[in-house]
């Protein structure tokens, strides 16, 4: 016997809709605005009925169910962005079971037919519910991939530490096209400010491989041609050991363990020193204490 599901749902569309929306509010879908919730539900229910009218099969894999899958893509996406969990997202579909099942009980007197139609509805809604978690997963993966890209592209500012002394604190991975851009902006700023010393601090760079080393060497060489000296600071012990094994030659480059050390060298090279206010007196104090 032909399934009556489409006909029964169509006849009671508005009744199901209001029960379904109520059901979801009870389950706490309050983060979605009332307006959005109603429009999502209305849309989904309409597509569900259309799908049932058009498709002979209750398997949602077929192209006949494309529109409803696309609707779920959007719902999952929106909920993923709002921070819903996968099960909260799937509740959108599963909460439709209660209104539909109680409706079927009212509408169908024959118990064999009731079982049959309930089974059809369950199977369909289960597939659609599972589909939302897949769609949700895809959205999350997109978000993660985008965030990773953004981390790669973090902008690195060139800061002026003193007259004639620039610093470039690098943070994050260096092997995107970003390195090129960052290094070029350093050279640009050296030219604009007529700086004589630039400190490139790599404390925040997790891995220094040959590509990173090559970028550093190129920048140091280019800066030198412009009459500026580069100091590379923030080379942690494990990075130093690795560079040695890698066989990369940084011999022609001034390196310092910390940015503070590098700044010290930079000041000395430009003929400056830093002293404590009242330095002489505190020295004396210390002496007398000893």
Ligand X SMILES: Nc1ncnc2c1ncn2[C@@H]1O[C@H](COP(=O)(O)OP(=O)(O)OP(=O)(O)O)[C@@H](O)[C@H]1O
Contact footprint for ligand X (CB under 6 A): 210-211
Q: Strand 229-233 to strand 165-171: parallel, antiparallel, or no bridges (unpaired)?
A: unpaired
Q: Which is nearer to another protein, 103 or 230 (CB)?
A: 230
Q: Which is nearer to another protein, 45 or 212 (CB)?
A: 212
Contact between 218 and 224 under an 8 Å Cβ cutoff? The reply is no
Q: How far is the CB of 222 from ligand X (least distance, A)?
A: 18
Contact between 68 and 128 under an 8 Å Cβ cutoff? The reply is yes
Q: How far is the CB of 217 from another protein (least distance, A)?
A: 8
Handedness of CA 268, 271, 277, 280 (dihedral sign): positive
Residues 183-242 that bind another protein (CB under 8 A): 206-211, 213-214, 237-239, 241-242
Q: What's the distance, Cα to Cα, between the start and end of the chain in Å?
A: 104
Per partner kind, with CB cut-offs from 5 to 8 A, the member of another protein, ligand X, none near residue 213 is: another protein
In the chain, alpha helices (H) = 5-11, 13-26, 34-54, 66-81, 86-94, 97-107, 111-152, 178-193, 210-225, 237-246, 259-269, 279-289
DSSP string spanning 90-135?
HHHHHTTHHHHHHHHHHH---HHHHHHHHHHHHHHHHHHHHHHHHH
Q: How far is the CB of 65 from ligand X (least distance, A)?
A: 44
- Is 66 one of the binding residues for another protein (CB under 8 A)? no
| String of contacts with another protein for each residue 234-273, x by CB under 8 A | ---xxx-xx--xxxx-------------------------
| String of contacts with another protein for each residue 158-187, x by CB under 8 A | ---------------x-xx-----------
Per partner kind, with CB cut-offs from 5 to 8 A, the member of ligand X, another protein, none near residue 265 is: none
DSSP-derived letter for residue 64 is G
What six digits make up the tokens of 22?
Answer: 């109520």
The footprint of another protein (CB under 8 A) covers: 145, 148-149, 152, 173, 175-176, 206-211, 213-214, 237-239, 241-242, 245-248
């Amino acid at each position: 016997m032909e399934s009556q599901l489409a006909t029964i749902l169509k006849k009671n569309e508005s009744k199901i809709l209001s029960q379904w929306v109520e059901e979801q509010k009870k389950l706490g879908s309050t983060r979605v605005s009332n307006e959005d919730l109603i429009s999502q539900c209305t849309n989904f229910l309409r597509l569900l009925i259309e799908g049932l009218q058009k498709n002979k099969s209750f398997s949602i894999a077929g192209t006949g169910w494309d529109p409803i899958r696309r609707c779920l893509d959007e719902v999952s996406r929106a909920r993923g962005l709002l921070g819903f969990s996968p099960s909260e997202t799937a509740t959108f579909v599963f909460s439709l079971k209660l209104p539909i099942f109680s409706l079927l009980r009212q509408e169908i007197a024959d118990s064999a037919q009731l079982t049959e139609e309930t089974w059809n509805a369950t199977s369909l809604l289960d597939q659609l519910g599972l589909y939302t978690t897949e769609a949700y997963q895809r959205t999350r993966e997109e978000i993660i991939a985008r965030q990773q890209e953004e981390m790669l592209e973090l902008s690195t500012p060139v800061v002026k530490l003193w007259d004639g002394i620039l610093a470039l604190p690098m943070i994050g991975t260096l092997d995107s096209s970003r390195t090129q851009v960052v290094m070029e902006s350093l050279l640009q700023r050296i030219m604009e400010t007529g700086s004589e010393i630039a400190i490139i601090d790599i404390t925040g760079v997790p891995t220094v491989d040959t590509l990173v080393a090559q970028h550093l060497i190129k920048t140091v060489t280019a800066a030198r041609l412009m009459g500026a000296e580069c100091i590379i600071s923030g080379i942690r012990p494990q990075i130093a050991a690795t560079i040695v094994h890698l066989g990369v030659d940084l011999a022609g480059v001034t390196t310092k363990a910390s940015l503070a050390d590098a700044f010290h060298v930079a000041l000395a090279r430009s003929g400056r020193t830093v002293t404590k206010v009242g330095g002489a007196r505190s020295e004396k104090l210390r002496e007398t204490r000893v």
